[in-house]
Amino acid sequence: MSWLKAFGSRTPDTSRLYTETRGQGEETLVFIPGLGGTTRYWGPRLAPIEHRYRVVLVDLLGFGRSPKPWTRYSVARHVDALHEVLGGLGPVSIVGHSLGALLTVAYAARYPDQVRAMTLIGMPYFGGQRRAYRYMRHGPVKGGFVYTNIVLTMAACIFTRRVLGWVLPYLVRSVPREVAEDLVKHTWRSSTSSLWEVVYRYDAAEDLESLPDQIGVLCIHGEQDVIAPATAVERLAASRPSWRLRILPGVDHHPFLRDTQACLSLIDAMGCSGKKGNTLSGVQSALSAGD
């Protein structure tokens, strides 16, 4: 059994996701991190809004302190795990980053009555695996060939966790220390399978089309995001009059970390709009204030 431990955890997949709940507000904001992210991606920076909302932070299946079963980390599997912990909270507003933004869309499409509004931060949208491969391999992403070769990605994941894990916070200075520390809290199975199943193979177009109009949608994107090109999200937003889009100048794939204040203002306005029945005037005011 020792070789199994090297390749992934056999934690029973019947366990619930790890969550943290803060605040006492009537409205609920749920925060879902991206690939490799955990509750600590958001937690230290949410104090300004915690007094107005019940804030729920989630570690995705296979990441952080959540179970890490030996399974296919498909969109359906992730959404089922999320529903187990979010289904009883009533209508919520969801904030998702990167892979978490894609899962937010998938969750809202399957449980529209449980979602008031969505804030999609740095959402990678490619329209299918072939287009994702083309962009990652031939675009501006460094090491794109590795990230589109499943064997190399698997090997890089194992090496990073087993060899570089303890020094990663000293090597990765582009994110806060606690975020870098948690980048190894997964298995090669959960990380690689989630990347392929959610980011590459999941085409969110059908789910986006099925979203009811009463669900407010706000997209926050970095102008210099090379992981998730802003042009794709701009096209999506332009074709949906009820959507709101904010492009943050000079910002990369981590708008929430680079300009926390601007993101919190927009998230707060979106949470209020959900409470008011999809009235997006507050969001528009927040967008205008940032111009």
Tens of pLDDT, residue by residue over 206-258, are 999 999 988 999 999 999 999 999 999 999 898 888 899 999 999 999 999 99
- The first and second tokens of residue 175, run together, are 């994110």
pLDDT tens-digit map of 19-41: 999 988 889 999 999 999 999 99
Query: Cα dist. 49→23, 28, 33, 224 in Å?
Result: 9, 11, 18, 27
Tell me the whole-structure pTM to 2 decimals: 0.89
Query: Cα dist. 283→129, 230, 258, 266 in Å?
Result: 33, 20, 20, 6
Going by C-beta distance under 8 Å and a sequence separation of 6 or more, which residues neighbour residue 286?
A: 265, 266, 268, 269
pLDDT of residue 163: 86
Instruction: Tell me which residue has tokens 């669900």.
Output: 215
The alpha carbon of residue 92 and the mean position of all alpha carbons in its chain are separated, in whole angstroms, by 16
pLDDT confidence tier of residue 284, bands split at 50, 70 and 90: low
Going by C-beta distance under 8 Å and a sequence separation of 6 or more, which residues neighbour residue 221?
A: 121, 122, 123, 228, 230, 233, 234, 245, 246, 247, 248, 255
Instruction: For domain 2-289, give the CATH number.
Output: 3.40.50.1820
